[in-house]
Amino acid sequence: MRIKFFVILLSALCLQWSKEATAIASTNGYGYSLESTLVMAIENDPWLKKSQYQEKSLLSEGLAASSLPDPKASVSMANLPVDDFSFNSQPMTQFKLGLSQTFARGDSLELKGDIKNLQAGVQPYLRANRKTQLMMQVGSIWLDAYKAQKSIELIRNKKHLFQELKEAAEINYRTAIQSSSQQELVRADLELSKLDDQITVHEDNLHRSIRKLSEYMPLPQSYLSHDGNTTQTNYFSSDLPSIQLLNKKGAAQKHPLVVAMDHSIASSAKMVDLKKQGYKPQFTLSGSYGLRNDAPGGEERPDFFSLGVSFDIPLFTENKQDKEVEAAVYKKESRREERALIINKLVAGYDTQISRLDSLNKRLNLYRNKIFPQIFLQGEASMTAYSNNEADFAELVRARIDEVNAQLTVLDIAVEIQKAKLRANYYQAESSKELLAHIGINSNLSTFKKAAGDSNE
């Protein structure tokens, strides 16, 4: 009976290898690839469009802020007598037309325009950071979905082996009277149920990842509907991209967030200069023309023309101008410290991911060089021992379980390595195109440039 059981297992194993080879050959990149997912996420991101509108708004505000205020006109009746309200009875009665123009303090108009332009100049770098951030976030979600999908495929492929174990146990139970045969049948049923539970868990992870992706890009309704039975497994490309690691010295200084902060610091410096203009007077030039009527006796009266300049005198600056300049200086220095914090965060984040990559690569090498060969030898030894009545059924099942768990662990490690590279590259990237160029797939950069928009970088 053990020899018969051994033959059944060998035939099942050969059949399974054939199915896995067919499955690998039949997957030709159906579903969304990592590249197409990232491009679609950037194309459909409302934040990028919002930033473009903010930039245009700030540029328009800069033009408005650097312009002189509109002149003021006045129309009045001056020195009108209250006894008869006659326009020509008194020589001082006149109809006045006035015009005044206020001029800004020092160079404040030019500085206001510069400040708005610098604030607008921050937006392209914030968009560049948003794109690289999207690639990190969406890429990580895509990898989670990929891992869940491949886990489902792997378990379903391996489930066939446990089904063959169950069938062999049933043969043993029907043809032999052994106290262990019924236990073998129950154990085989139990392991099949556990595999079904794992599939359910990974299906839930897959659909949660799909829901997260739908926040960043439109997905077909077939992806979003989840009836509890995942019949479509090729939601995403079957090829795991091998992301190349950026390795640039001093990259943190050129990161979009740091460059954006440099523009903010320059804007703060301009604000200090603007507040210093408060020590200078503000001038208003005014002129008026007074029209007088002829006297009651017919005597002609000359019209009046007035011209004047008014200005304020900044004498009491201790509690106003001095404090405004002081506050602007403090704000500028706080942004300098914020820049240092950003650089520290970028450097620490990169170092953390590099350290994690080292650990993950060590684990992957350990599985490839030691654990996998040992699991294979264990499986072969268990089958041989069971066929020679030297091992029990439970030991053979454990060998199969170890094989499935090891493959799932390797898949998890491989995905985590790519996620760590995505995060590490974000901390060093200057643009989204640079990140895409380091994804190990056939990237259509011309399509990506059109989608990303060079002017938005």
Q: Letter for the amino acid at 279? A: Y
Non-local (6+) Cβ contacts of 447 within 8 A are: 39
Six token digits for residue 334: 């706080």
* Domain-embedded: residue 128: yes
Six token digits for residue 254: 């050129």
Predicted local distance difference test score (pLDDT) of residue 29: 41
- Angle, vertex CA 368, rays to CA 365 and CA 371, nearest 5: 105
Q: Are 161 and 142 in contact (CB under 8 A)?
A: no
- Measuring CA to CA, which residue among 327, 432, 443, 446 is closest to residue 42? 432
Non-local (6+) Cβ contacts of 362 within 8 A are: none
Non-local (6+) Cβ contacts of 165 within 8 A are: 9, 188, 191, 393, 396, 397, 400
Q: How far apart are CA 152 and CA 159, in angstroms?
A: 10
Measured between alpha carbons, how far is residue 425 from residues 124, 165, 287, 346, 419 in Å? 20, 46, 65, 10, 10
What angle in degrees, to the nearest 10, is found between the helix axes of 34-43 and 108-175?
Answer: 140
Q: Are 451 and 39 in contact (CB under 8 A)?
A: yes
User: Considering its fold, how many domains does the chain have in total?
Assistant: 1
Q: Which domain holds residue 6?
A: 2-68+107-280+319-456
Question: What's the CATH code of the domain at 60?
Answer: 1.20.1600.10
Q: Are 255 and 429 in contact (CB under 8 A)?
A: yes
Mean pLDDT by 10 residues, the chain (457 residues): 44 40 37 87 94 96 92 90 80 89 92 95 95 94 93 84 66 56 71 84 92 89 65 70 81 92 95 93 92 80 90 86 94 96 94 95 93 84 68 70 88 94 91 79 41 42
Q: How far apart are CA 60 and CA 73, in angstroms?
A: 26
For the chain, the straight-line distance linking the first and the last C-alpha, in angstroms and rounded, comes to 71
Give the chain as a 3 state SS string: CHHHHHHHHHHHHHHHHHHHHHHHHHCCCCCECHHHHHHHHHHCCHHHHHHHHHHHHHHHHHHHHCCCCCCEEEEEEECCCCCCCCCCCCCCCEEEEEEEEEECCCCHHHHHHHHHHHHHHHHHHHHHHHHHHHHHHHHHHHHHHHHHHHHHHHHHHHHHHHHHHHHHHHHHHHHCCCCCHHHHHHHHHHHHHHHHHHHHHHHHHHHHHHHHHCCCCCCCHHHHCCCCCCCCCCCECCCCCCCCCCCCCCHHHHCHHHHHHHHHHHHHHHHHHHHHHHHCCCEEEEEEEEECCCCCCCCCCCCEEEEEEEECCCCCCCCCHHHHHHHHHHHHHHHHHHHHHHHHHHHHHHHHHHHHHHHHHHHHHHHHHHHHHHHHHHHHHHHHHHHCCCCCHHHHHHHHHHHHHHHHHHHHHHHHHHHHHHHHHHCCCCCHHHHHCCCCCCCCHHHHHHHHCHHHC
* Domain-embedded: residue 183: yes
* Domain-embedded: residue 260: yes
Six token digits for residue 357: 């990559």
Q: How far apart are CA 169 and CA 357, in angstroms?
A: 44
Measured between alpha carbons, how far is residue 83 from residues 87, 89, 91, 298 in Å? 11, 10, 15, 21
Six token digits for residue 81: 């007598």
Predicted local distance difference test score (pLDDT) of residue 25: 31
Q: In this predicted model, what pLDDT tens digit does every residue of 422-450 receive, in sequence order? A: 999 999 888 888 888 877 654 443 333 44
* Domain-embedded: residue 449: yes
Predicted local distance difference test score (pLDDT) of residue 16: 45
- Measuring CA to CA, which residue among 439, 454, 446 is closest to residue 135? 439
Q: How far apart are CA 342 and CA 360, in angstroms?
A: 27
Six token digits for residue 306: 């007035």
* Domain-embedded: residue 101: no
* Domain-embedded: residue 308: no
Predicted local distance difference test score (pLDDT) of residue 191: 77
* Domain-embedded: residue 452: yes
Predicted local distance difference test score (pLDDT) of residue 453: 43
* Domain-embedded: residue 287: no
Q: Are 142 and 37 in contact (CB under 8 A)?
A: yes
